[in-house]
């Protein structure tokens, strides 16, 4: 495996965005040293980490540059190692990857986050990521569940047309959706049996070696 020379990836094993980066790196065959940040104990609010960035996932390059936001980190690695292409190739495919990745974030991952952040005791007064002093709103739990059900239906329809979300090639859009569904497992929500296409795809992605990252 290739190793990101002198890089450090600050990571929390249970955070979905951290997992998204780890799966992406595994698909690329890139081995970058991980530095664990315990968000359960609010370590990401500590002074030493806030100097780098208050977001959960941060990549620190060997020149001291810090990149936050999981997709931005993935884009960095796509540039330094283009193959396999996980953001697509050509204008049309890249646009489709971007579209489905955004849908997986907004309709899938955020729906799960809405459920968990408004129900889990650890997120009391932290119902929005990276911000303290935001109260939980229990009514948003049901809205999150309804949104997630629509997401399952959306990807099931799409996956009846294509092998993967953006087409016939595996991409970051599949990683984002896969991680979002894994995240939903924490509140015991999975892809419904009625969504046969989505379940076929989920089994396919789960069998990839990167799924263990």
Grade residue 35 by pLDDT with cuts at 50, 70 and 90.
confident
Beta bridge pairs of residue 134? 126
pLDDT at 50 over 80: no
Helix 110-117 / helix 172-184 crossing angle, nearest 10 deg: 20
Pairing outcome for strands 58-60 and 34-36 = unpaired
User: 168 and 149, same structural domain?
Assistant: yes
User: 176 and 97, same structural domain?
Assistant: yes
Nearest alpha-carbon partner for 108 in 175, 201, 22, 168: 175
Q: What is the pLDDT of residues 143-185, one digit of tens each?
A: 999 999 999 999 999 999 999 999 999 999 999 999 999 999 9
User: 65 and 29, same structural domain?
Assistant: yes
36 is in which domain, residue-wise?
7-80
Residue 85 lies in a domain: no
User: 110 and 58, same structural domain?
Assistant: no
Q: How many domains does the chain have?
A: 2
Ranking 58-72, 75-89, 137-151, 182-196 by mean pLDDT, the lowest is 58-72
CA pair distance 49, 199, nearest whole angstrom: 39
Q: What is the pLDDT of residues 111-124, one digit of tens each?
A: 999 999 999 998 88
pTM, 2 dp: 0.90
Which CATH number do you get for residue 167? 1.20.1050.10
User: 201 and 97, same structural domain?
Assistant: yes
User: 113 and 189, same structural domain?
Assistant: yes
User: 137 and 64, same structural domain?
Assistant: no
Which CATH number do you get for residue 15? 3.40.30.10
């Amino acid at each position: 495996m290739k190793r990101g020379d002198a890089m450090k990836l600050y990571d929390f094993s249970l955070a979905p965005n951290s997992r998204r980066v780890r799966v992406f790196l595994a698909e690329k065959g890139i081995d970058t040293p991980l530095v664990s940040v315990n968000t359960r104990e609010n370590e990401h609010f500590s002074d030493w980490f806030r100097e780098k960035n208050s977001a959960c996932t941060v990549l620190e390059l060997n020149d001291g540059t810090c990149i936050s936001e999981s997709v931005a980190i993935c884009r960095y690695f796509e540039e330094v190692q283009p193959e396999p292409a996980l953001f697509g190739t050509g204008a049309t495919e890249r646009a489709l990857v971007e579209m489905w990745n955004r849908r997986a974030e907004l309709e899938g991952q955020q729906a799960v986050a809405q459920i968990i952040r408004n129900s889990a005791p650890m997120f009391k007064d932290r119902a929005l990521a990276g911000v303290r002093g935001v109260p939980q709103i229990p009514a948003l739990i049901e809205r999150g569940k309804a949104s997630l059900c629509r997401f399952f239906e959306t990807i099931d329809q799409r996956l009846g047309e294509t092998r993967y979300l953006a087409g016939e090639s595996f991409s970051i859009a599949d990683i984002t959706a896969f991680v979002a569904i894994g995240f939903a497992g924490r509140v015991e929500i999975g892809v419904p049996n009625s969504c046969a296409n989505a379940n076929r795809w989920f089994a396919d992605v789960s069998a990839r070696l990167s799924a263990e990252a």
